[in-house]
Chain A
Amino acid sequence: MLDHLLFVIFPYAAATLAVVVTLQRYFKKGFSYSSLSSQFLESNELFYGSVAWHFGILGALMGHAIGFFLPVQVLWFNSAPVRLYILESTGLLFGLLAVTGIVSLIVRRLTAPRIRAVTSALDVVVLLLLLVQVVLGVYVALFYRWGSSWFAGSAVPYLRSLWILQPDTGMIAPLPLAVKMHILFAYLLVAVFPFSRLVHMLIVPIQYLWRPYQLVVWNWNRKTLIKQSPRSLRHPVTLPVPAQASDPVAEQRAVVTR
């Protein structure tokens, strides 16, 4: 019963909350989406915290994603012990990097007076949750060896059962407490996610890799307005069809929102 509550109802509730609140926040309070960078106020300690944390956590999350999407391939990869050691130690390295990072981020938040001035209660909650989560992850990696292999046999079937809406907790019931805690904290983070600064990971600007450098936005240019509006009939101005936007200046028509 408790398993059902924690491992079925809770994840669904957390995920629903995350999706609904994230979307409504994005469309109703878009202004609040920001990295909320504090580098301007303190930069030196942030370097060790932020870089170690982000590379560590992104590597670790990537590892989890690979395990979830390609369990068979991971098992095949691990069939040679050398490769298993390499995979496991890489994972552990990312985990340790993340732990170092989050610890120094927390120390920085608590000690630098300027950073304290821009710290909300939720920031502290998020940082502590993340700390517990990555410490649990590293603990599991160290004391319940070869997770990259048993993950495929127990956690993946459970997570997939959730995904296809046929929840089956049979697989995880016998797992050790630390692993269960790791799973629960993940759900907790998902639930906190939409309210916190964590939403910044959704707005990662990869489009930057290909967008043109210069950007021009026309707001009330007669050429574009006349094109978009039948009302222009009231203003009999004859203008030729606009020329194509010329590189290196990208054109964009502003969307007039109400």
Chain B
Amino acid sequence: MDVRLQISMVFHLDKCIGCHTCSVACKNVWTDRKGAEYMWWNNVETKPGTGYPTSWEDQSKYRGGWEQKNGQPDLKMGNRSSRLLNIFHNPYLPKMDDYYEPWTYKYEDLFNAPEGADQPTARPISMVTGNLIDIKAGPNWDDDLGGSPVYAANDPNLEALTPEQRAEIFEIERLVFFYLPRICNHCLNASCVAACPSGAIYKRGEDGIVLINQDRCRGWRMCVTACPYKKTFYNWSTGKSEKCILCFPRLETGQAPACFHSCVGRIRYLGALLYDAEQLTSALAVPDSQLVEAQRQMILDPFDPTVRSEALKNGIDEGTLEAAQRSPVYKYVKQWKLALPLHPEFRTLPMLFYVPPLLPVMAKTEDGKYDSSGSELFSPIEKARLPMQYLSRLFSGGNEELVRYALKKQYAIRLFKRMETVGDLDMSVVGRALEEVNTTPEEAERVYRLTSLPTMDDRYVIPPSHREEAMQMLNDDLLQERGSAGLGFRELPVRGA
């Protein structure tokens, strides 16, 4: 057993209100720079929809992630030598137009325009060329199903549905959608790391954050293709690639990342997971539909004494172990089995998990009335407006059972709370529902509390990083650094000539 620590995330999709506060917080902190204007390390897209960059899930186009080749995982973008041969021109690189051309407005025209009969306007100009542009797309062009006949209909996940089902979800009175906030998944089997010819991308051993060393990145732009989630971005100005850093400077000082901290819907949870790095190969040797189970298998029980002693041997300290025990992510992913990874079939072992949305479940009505009696127990889920096939294509590699379980469990807990608060159901019905998803009233209460009433401290359990100890353990005499410009090597990120 090789115990490692991973800072992991859970996003509860039923709580996301699609306000984009997270995206804006991230943009203001990290990507409000030349060359990075088009980057949204955090973005929120509408599903069904094509997302950002357009159709990012379509790997026949972008060739991201891994595939099994003769029983061995290899990158979908080709073997090592063919990738090197493509270095002069990468045929699978997304272009700026797959994202959008960033723009601003000529605000000064509002002040400088000569007096005339018409109101002056601020026309849009490109932030790349400075020329006037005709805006054709933006980072969130199909928000809330805007232009859905064009955009949502191109969602690759709809392939999982029959033509009738597809037609049904776009009928105006049945329209259904939910929000999918996305950041880097800080994967265990990261394909960006594997694709970087320079070896500039790495996973931090201490917390599993995947980072790009800006000094070693040489702009070969392979990571952009390799990441199936399209969460590595090429900075067209500096000639280096960049990605979400999970706000590590904030984490190291005990603060939640900016997108988490600002989340209005409080949908975001962050905590430590212990996992067994030795199972990396075996967890990937299974068919798509079993990947989620195999990944859950890798996640270790922080209460297990053997796990604890192995963790201590690997340099994980007591404080961190305690944080792992309190981790909300551990609860949602492993104990409650409510949270699932996004597109596990890309085989990167993503460490950001989603609680699939119940949505307006009572969608199909009988005689124009919703059935809220609970008499049919889970029928609303089976008859949900958004077909199970669609959700399982997103969150479980096609395994409908896992999604159905997560939805039924949430629904059972709803019934349980309805019984307590409204009082129109009785325990004979609710008990049956809870039993069917193997849960107890106590657990239901705990899920309810962490889902609906969590405080900031419940949502973000950040293990201490103890960098102060690291500093003291270095050979350097820190007193010598007094009066100098600080530790480390700093250089302005100026584009090479």
Contacts of B481 in A (CB 8 A): 258
Please give the distance in Å from B334's CB to the nearest CB on chain A. Answer: 22
Given known A203-B198, A207-B199, contact A31–B215 (CB-CB < 8 A): yes
**Which of A11-19, A74-82, A249-257 touches B?**
A249-257
B202 near A195 with CB under 8 A, answer no
Contacts of A166 in B (CB 8 A): none
B489 within 8 A of A: yes
The distance in angstroms between the C-alpha atoms of A75 and B472, with both chains bound, is: 65
Contacts of A46 in B (CB 8 A): 89
Given known A31-B494, A40-B93, A243-B2, contact A217–B202 (CB-CB < 8 A): yes
B84 near A208 with CB under 8 A, answer yes
Given known A35-B218, A118-B236, contact A229–B475 (CB-CB < 8 A): yes
Which B51-99 residues have C-beta < 8 A from chain A? 80-81, 83-84, 87-91, 93-96
B81 near A209 with CB under 8 A, answer yes
Please give the distance in Å from B24's CB to the nearest CB on chain A. Answer: 24
Most buried by A among B198, B221, B240: B198
Please give the distance in Å from B351's CB to the nearest CB on chain A. Answer: 14
Q: Residue A219 contacts which of B84, B204, B219, B224 (CB distance < 8 angstroms)?
A: B204
Give B95's nearest chain A residue, CB to CB. A43
Interface size class of B (residues with CB under 8 A): 35 or more
Given known A32-B495, A41-B128, contact A246–B221 (CB-CB < 8 A): no
B89 near A248 with CB under 8 A, answer no
Contacts of B206 in A (CB 8 A): 218-221
Give A211's nearest chain B residue, CB to CB. B199
Q: Residue B219 contacts which of A36, A207, A209 (CB distance < 8 angstroms)?
A: A36
Give A28's nearest chain B residue, CB to CB. B491
A142 within 8 A of B: no
Give A38's nearest chain B residue, CB to CB. B236
Interface string of B313-330 (1 = CB under 8 A from A): 111010000000000000
Contacts of A232 in B (CB 8 A): 473
Contacts of B466 in A (CB 8 A): 220, 222
B475 near A230 with CB under 8 A, answer yes
A239 within 8 A of B: yes
Most buried by B among A118, A203, A215, A229: A215
B2 near A239 with CB under 8 A, answer no
Contacts of A256 in B (CB 8 A): 474, 476, 488
B96 near A41 with CB under 8 A, answer yes
B475 near A228 with CB under 8 A, answer yes
- By secondary structure, the B interface counts as loop
Which B455-497 residues have C-beta < 8 A from chain A? 465-467, 469-470, 472-476, 481, 487-489, 491-497
B238 within 8 A of A: yes
B472 near A235 with CB under 8 A, answer yes
How many chain A residues have a CB neighbour from B under 8 Å? 76
B220 within 8 A of A: yes
A35 near B215 with CB under 8 A, answer no
A200 near B205 with CB under 8 A, answer no
Give B38's nearest chain A residue, CB to CB. A40
B96 near A225 with CB under 8 A, answer no
Contacts of A54 in B (CB 8 A): 88
Contacts of A170 in B (CB 8 A): none
Binding site for A on B (CB under 8 A): 2, 80-81, 83-84, 87-91, 93-96, 128-131, 189-190, 193-194, 196-199, 201-206, 214-221, 224, 234, 236-240, 277-278, 280-281, 312-315, 317, 465-467, 469-470, 472-476, 481, 487-489, 491-497
- Contacts A34-B496, A35-B87, A243-B313 known; 20 new A-B pairs at CB < 8 A: A31-B494, A32-B496, A36-B239, A37-B220, A37-B234, A40-B94, A43-B95, A207-B199, A208-B196, A209-B81, A214-B203, A216-B204, A220-B465, A221-B315, A222-B470, A231-B472, A231-B475, A234-B472, A252-B202, A258-B489
Binding site for B on A (CB under 8 A): 28-43, 46-47, 50-51, 53-55, 113-114, 116-118, 120, 122-123, 195-197, 199-200, 203, 205-209, 211, 213-226, 228-232, 234-235, 239-240, 242-243, 246, 248-249, 251-252, 256-258
Which 10 residue pairs across A and B have the least CB separation, nearest first?
A220-B470, A32-B496, A223-B315, A205-B197, A34-B239, A218-B205, A213-B194, A34-B219, A208-B197, A36-B239
